[in-house]
Amino acid sequence: MEARVGNKFRLGRKIGSGSFGEIHLGTHLQTNEEVAIKLENAKTKHPQLLYESKLYRLLQGGTGVPNVKWFGVEGDYNVLVMDLLGPSLEDLFNFCSRKLSLKSVLMLADQMINRVEYFHSKSFLHRDLKPDNFLMGLGRRANQVYIIDFGLAKKYRDNTTHQHIPYRWAVLAPKDLREKRIKVSSFKSALELMEARVGNKFRLGRKIGSGSFGEIHLGTHLQTNEEVAIKLENAKTKHPQLLYESKLYRLLQGGTGVPNVKWFGVEGDYNVLVMDLLGPSLEDLFNFCSRKLSLKSVLMLADQMINRVEYFHSKSFLHRDLKPDNFLMGLGRRANQVYIIDFGLAKKYRDNTTHQHIPYRENKNLTGTARYASMNTHLGIEQSRRDDLESLGYILMYFLKGSLPWQGLKAGTKKQKYERISEKKVSTSIESLCRGYPSEFASYFHYCRSLRFDDKPDYGYLKRIFRDLFIREGFQFDYVFDWTILKYQQSQLTAPPTRGPAAGTSSGLPPGLTSMDRYGGEEDGGRPPMDSSRRRTSGALENSSATVRAPMMPSSSLFGQSAGSSRRVTSEELQRSRTGSGLRNSAMVSTSERKRSSSTRKQYDSAIKGIETLHVSDERYHHH
């Protein structure tokens, strides 16, 4: 075995041994921190290191429980890397001529009872308590007692019901106990085995969503208490996608509106992806706003959404499943930032180096969500950048109109339903689809459909036509979305009269991460619909806990008063924010209006720059 472990640690001299194998001194390659490295032959008849590592993770965070740094396989060895501890109580007992004072015994007893109590609180018995299995710490923790060696531990009760194991006669020597120790497979589930620990850094919390691939849980960083989203996928699934998706997130890392990956790895029977916790999806917010969004809100969203798609394409990938569920708002300071998620159907469309485009093909199956799929996708043509943008256009019209003409069509089978959607979509002209709305939306669709298969879209042009419309309408880019107004109005029903609004926040639904990954082709979702528990567990929409002003919010915006101001926002101001200035319908443009338009453009550009440069702090991506 080489002198490297887990690509992080240097293997040093042997400092101990036992029936299971050896313990070596180790050093972290970057920090030079000394660690203990436990080695077990992977071919041993009764391996126990994996089981023991699971128990250490279950107990992680308890006082007097050593931290696990890494577990894995290196060559022919199972390897467990842990905190380096001091001498055992057996060692110290021998050093003290095999007798301890009453004072020392009582001081030890208090800590030792605490360790056993904590072990029992996690529903396990140790079953091999002895002086060798209590160690003292090192350095600042030299007076702290640690409990170790969980190879004979046994679960004595159910986690949830606390149902105790049945009474039995058992007269077995320690050797026999070791032969009959509880095996990993006897746990009810891998999740129970993990016991709320992921990657040795995160605590697994309640489920906040589910889908065909698995589940999403709320999680907490053990050291910082930061809340995260933890995505779980059964490692034995027929079509695993979490590893592929984690690689795409890593590729896109650092881009505005792309959630950070905190960790990816395997825990028990699960592939696990730990990511930023985000706010509600645009589908959630659309429903909260009675399934219709104002022109102002749609245009503020459109600018960010085009940016997200452009960035995705710049990394040589197509998303292929754009829908409102796959755009989420952030939380806290980033509550007004749009995030793009769910890369399970993404596909590389060109070579990274040469930019050679994939070839044109036909007779392809529908991939994505039928409701938002482009016409060419329905016709079986290989997707390219133009198709993502056409899908985005359908999302914008869905927000404005409240529904699309091909929704609600009935058919006997899914295939027939997709055919009916395709027929309706092909027969609906762009002018008919966009009738009653500004001509810029028709221009958007005409441009998308004019693109050839391998054309690079002019994203700047598409953003520009919407920005010009925004300015012409007299709107202010103040991050006051429709849901912001509704939440403000709700808060006034219960808030004290002197209380001012929390400026510019956009999230208020129970937080979650993703619209669950689905398999391609459904009209209402590219994959089967996720569990209704996602973001609905708290019932009615609540006000966001974030009270930070929106980043780069202009001083002239609706909620632009200084933080803590008790000034009331009037209903007239709310209405102006929603609809824009009443002057915009005037046939003549006065000098003051021209100045106002110029000022609005500058304010718009400043606001856009602000939101797009609000980068999420990068955290290293871990995979072992």
Q: Name the residues annotated as catalytic.
A: 321
Q: Which long-range contacts (CB under 8 A, 24 or more apart) does 398-401 make?
A: 398/286, 398/324, 398/371, 398/372, 399/282, 399/286, 399/292, 399/293, 399/297, 399/298, 399/301, 399/324, 400/292, 400/293, 400/295, 400/298, 400/437, 400/441, 401/292, 401/437
Tokens 């796959």 belong to which residue? 326
Amino acid code (one letter) for 265:
G
80, 83, 87, 89: CA torsion to nearest 10: -80
In degrees, rounded to 5, the angle at the alpha carbon of residue 400 between the alpha carbons of residues 399 and 403 is: 65
Tokens 């609005």 belong to which residue? 600
Q: What is the DSSP string of 400-462?
A: HHSS-TTTT---SSHHHHHHHHHHHHHHS-HHHHHTTS-HHHHHHHHHHHHS-TTPPP-HHHH
Q: How far is CA 265 from CA 9, 65, 347, 367, in A?
A: 18, 23, 23, 28
> What is the C-alpha separation between 90 and 585, in angstroms, rounded?
88
| Residue 78, beta-bridge partner list | 40, 73
Residue pair 293/480 in contact by the 8 Å Cβ criterion: no
Backbone angles phi, psi at 104, to 5 degrees: -65, -40
Local structure of 491: helix, strand or coil:
helix
Q: Which long-range contacts (CB under 8 A, 24 or more apart) does 405-412 make?
A: 405/432, 405/433, 406/371, 406/523, 407/371, 407/523, 409/523
231 is in an annotated binding site: yes
| Residue 344, beta-bridge partner list | none
Residue pair 318/383 in contact by the 8 Å Cβ criterion: yes
Local structure of 131: helix, strand or coil:
helix
C-alpha Rg value of the chain to the nearest Å: 30
Task: Give 130's contacts (C-beta < 8 A, 6+ positions apart).
Answer: 90
> What is the C-alpha separation between 145 and 65, in angstroms, rounded?
9
Task: Give 604's contacts (C-beta < 8 A, 6+ positions apart).
Answer: 467, 470, 471, 476, 477
Structure tokens given for 12: 């040093």
Detail the residues annotated as belonging to a binding site.
231
Detail the residues annotated as belonging to a binding site for ATP.
231
